[in-house]
């Protein structure tokens, strides 16, 4: 079984960079998948980790924005 960790780590860095460069960025999960060109499982892992780290939060409209 191949680990997703290196792939997830790379996309976490990419998401953090994009959200820092565009602080008002708001993306749904499907928009994030298209924007980054990643599959559902990787996207879920990236979002989960960034929510745990309190970097992103999901709004009531199911969009992800910078936490804080």
Please spell the DSSP secondary structure of 8-66, one letter per residue. Answer: HHHHHHHHHHHHHHSTT--B-HHHHHHHHT--HHHHHHHHHHHHHTTSEEE-TTS-EEE
Task: Judge whether 44 and 11 are in contact, CB under 8 Å.
Answer: no
The CATH class that applies to domain 5-66 reads mainly alpha
Per-residue confidence (pLDDT) for residue 4, from 0 to 100: 67
Per-residue confidence (pLDDT) for residue 62, from 0 to 100: 97
Tens digit of each residue's pLDDT (9 = 90 or more) over 2-61:
566 888 999 999 999 999 999 899 999 999 999 889 999 999 999 999 999 999 999 999
Per-residue confidence (pLDDT) for residue 33, from 0 to 100: 96
Domain ranges (residues) in the chain: 5-66
Token look-up 């953090």 returns 16
Task: Judge whether 4 and 44 are in contact, CB under 8 Å.
Answer: no
Per-residue confidence (pLDDT) for residue 68, from 0 to 100: 81
Question: How far is Cα 29 from Cα 8, in angstroms, rounded to an integer?
Answer: 15
């Amino acid at each position: 079984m191949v680990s997703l960790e290196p792939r997830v780590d790379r996309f976490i860095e990419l998401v953090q960079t994009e959200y820092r460069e565009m602080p008002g960025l708001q993306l749904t999960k499907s928009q994030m998948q298209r924007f980054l060109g990643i599959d559902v499982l990787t996207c879920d892992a990236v979002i989960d980790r960034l929510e745990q780290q309190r970097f992103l939060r999901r709004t009531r409209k199911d969009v992800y924005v910078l936490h804080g």
